[in-house]
Amino acid sequence: MTPFGEKLRALREARGINQAELAAALDVSPAYLSALEHGKRGAPSWAFLQKIIQYFGLIWDDAEQLQDLAHLSKPKVTIDTAGMDARATRAANLLARRIGRLNDRELDQLLAFLSEQPRGK
């Protein structure tokens, strides 16, 4: 599941809407909506994201949060370390190899570290 899919499901469930109802309202198939929620599809298009925001009546911070989550919800990520320090390539490869084995605490620590503002910038 992606962060966007998790939030979309939470919005839907909080309003007591099933996938078929939401899919019909957004003019997509229930299969597409399910794949989006489960992270089997990439981030939605800007236009589709706007339809979701409008459907749920999201404004300001809530709409911005959903858009941010969509940008962070690419289930197949490529990290281009060409031209970077060799340690960056090593870090990217180690992360790719180990991310599926990280426990909740380790994932939370990694997210906290990566979410920090860059030093000196």
pTM over 0.85: no
Residue 118, φ and ψ in degrees, nearest 5: -60, 140
Domain ranges of the chain: 3-71, 78-121
Q: State in words which class domain 3-71 has.
A: mainly alpha
Position 15 pLDDT exceeds 90: yes
What torsion do the CA atoms of 20, 17, 8, 10 make, to the nearest 10 degrees? -140
Q: Give the pLDDT band (50/70/90) at residue 35.
A: very high
Instruction: Report which of 64, 46, 59, 5 is spatially closest to residue 19, judged by C-alpha positions.
Output: 5
Position 120 pLDDT exceeds 70: no
- At residue 101, the pLDDT reads 95
Q: Give the pLDDT band (50/70/90) at residue 82.
A: very high
Instruction: Report which of 38, 29, 28 is spatially closest to residue 8, judged by C-alpha positions.
Output: 38
Task: Give the end-to-end CA distance of the chain in Å, rounded to a whole number.
Answer: 32
